[in-house]
Structure 1
Amino acid sequence: MAKILVDNWPQFIHGFWNTVWCSLIALFFSLLLGVIFALMEVAPSKLASAIAHIYIEIFRNIPLLVITMIFYLVVPRSGIKMSGFAAGTIGLALYSSAFIAETVRAGINSVGKGQMEGARSNGMTYNQAMRYVILPQALKIVIPPLGNQFVNLIKNSSVLAFVAGFDLMYEADTIAFSSLETINTYIIVGVFYLILTLPLSYYMRYLEKRLA
């Protein structure tokens, strides 16, 4: 196992950093989109709520690989060039944002209705009350499930392997095929994923206790 790691260290590191960058980019945009569509779903406007509901149902119920393949194979036919890394990252962000939106929506709905009524009675607009009163409370409530979504996002980044995204799984497939050391190669990759996911899991637990 050590020989496989040493001989292919540059490939492993290259795949590791591509996985990190994909995860960070997808995490940022999925959280942003998730919060936006969660707010739209609970908004008084029926149109905004309907748009958010349609978005969430579409991306939550289509497999991640299918979404990624659409961006990798279908979108380029319209003249928009897209690398495997970009297609995988966009697909991952859209897919994850649907689950994050539902998580945040559940958190918003768990905040007592009296909080909104009290904020409005003190002269706040709906948007101000949501921004300063409801949403901060909701985000504290949903930290544990959001942490799970973030960990799943990192693991789901392995979808890049199917579209030549040069992530950990793609590099592992290449190394395993060329060296025929399948078991050792994927054990090493599993360790790399643990390096990414375990610190995040422990940090989310720490944050949950700190905000309790």
Structure 2
Amino acid sequence: MASFIAQSSEYLPILLKGLWLTIAVTVLALCLSTVPGLTWALLRTSGVPALATPTRIFVELVRGIPILVILFYIYFVMPEIGLDLTAFQAGVIGLALTYSCYIGETFRAGIEAVDRGQIEAAKSIGMKRPLMMRRVILPQAFRIVLPPYANNLVMLLKDSSQVSVISVAELTMQGKMLASSTFNNTTIFTLVALLYLCLTIPLNLLMRQLELKLGKAR
């Protein structure tokens, strides 16, 4: 244990640099995926085949491709057609694109879970769909989707490690580089796992508290 603590004090400053980059990738990807995700959900539930069908096909295609392949495509293929991105930019865009589809399905499920009786009541008093969506459906859908949305956030945080394959020096990449130079795999990857837990456990607790508050508000 004493040896682990001594080695941790040596490795932690380097790993913390990667941790901050992990947080930056996660936050940016979440911001860039939430609004498009809501857009995909609204289009899929619009009842207009010309909007719903292409969106459904797009979402299913993206969800069917591994994140690594999407990252490779954006980072290595896009420059060949004139779109040259840094590894950090490609990582954020790749994660945002993928998770916009996951989040879109989460929002779609929440919208479709709203009581049909309330929708019919809104129609009966002359509400148009945009107003009904804003005043009746979305407020209830947001409460419904909070737990799976929080789960998407935790999964996004963990999947941010995937950007290490295109040389983004986030937490996992820093751990790999340290391990390859020191050969102290046990200590380093134990620290990496603990640092991820330091992010995911408080995040889960925070989302749980928010869920309980929203439940009381209802």
TM-score of the pair, normalised by structure 2: 0.93
How much has 1:29 moved relative to structure 2?
1.6
- Structure 1's unaligned 5+ residue stretches are none
How much has 1:4 moved relative to structure 2?
3.5
Query: Out of 89, 94, 99, which is 2:92 matched to?
Result: 89
Query: Which residues of 2 match residues 39-58 of structure 1 at below 5 A?
Result: 39-58=42-61
How much has 1:123 moved relative to structure 2?
2.7
- Counterpart for residue 139 of structure 1: 142
- Counterpart for residue 77 of structure 1: 80
Number of residues paired by the alignment?
212
Give CA-to-partner distance per residue, 1:65-106, whole Å, 9 cap, x none: 111111111011122221111111111111111111111111
Q: Determine if the alignment matches structure 1 residue 151 to structure 2 residue 170.
A: no
Asked if the contact 1:68–1:91 (Cα under 8 Å) also holds between the matched residues in 2, the reply is: yes
Give CA-to-partner distance per residue, 1:27-79, whole Å, 9 cap, x none: 11221111110111000211110122012101111111111111111011122
CA distance in 2, matches of 1:201, 1:75: 36
Tell me which moved more, 189-198 or 79-88.
Answer: 79-88
- Counterpart for residue 205 of structure 1: 208
- Structure 2's unaligned 5+ residue stretches are none
Letter in 2 for 1:147: A
Q: Determine if the alignment matches structure 1 residue 118 to structure 2 residue 121.
A: yes
Asked if the contact 2:11–2:188 (Cα under 8 Å) also holds between the matched residues in 1, the reply is: no
| Secondary structure of the structure 1 residue equivalent to 2:83 | coil
- Counterpart for residue 6 of structure 1: 9
Q: Determine if the alignment matches structure 1 residue 105 to structure 2 residue 108.
A: yes
| Secondary structure of the structure 2 residue equivalent to 1:142 | helix
| Secondary structure of the structure 2 residue equivalent to 1:183 | helix
CA distance in 2, matches of 1:7, 1:78: 44
Superposition CA RMSD, Å: 1.3
Asked if the contact 1:116–1:130 (Cα under 8 Å) also holds between the matched residues in 2, the reply is: no
Letter in 2 for 1:54: I
CA distance in 1, matches of 2:6, 2:53: 55
Tell me which moved more, 2-11 or 14-23.
Answer: 2-11
Q: Determine if the alignment matches structure 1 residue 25 to structure 2 residue 28.
A: yes
CA distance in 2, matches of 1:78, 1:2: 49
TM-score of the pair, normalised by structure 1: 0.95
Give CA-to-partner distance per residue, 1:166-186, whole Å, 9 cap, x none: 100111110000011111111
How much has 1:6 moved relative to structure 2?
2.6
CA distance in 2, matches of 1:18, 1:5: 19
Letter in 2 for 1:21: A
- Counterpart for residue 175 of structure 1: 178
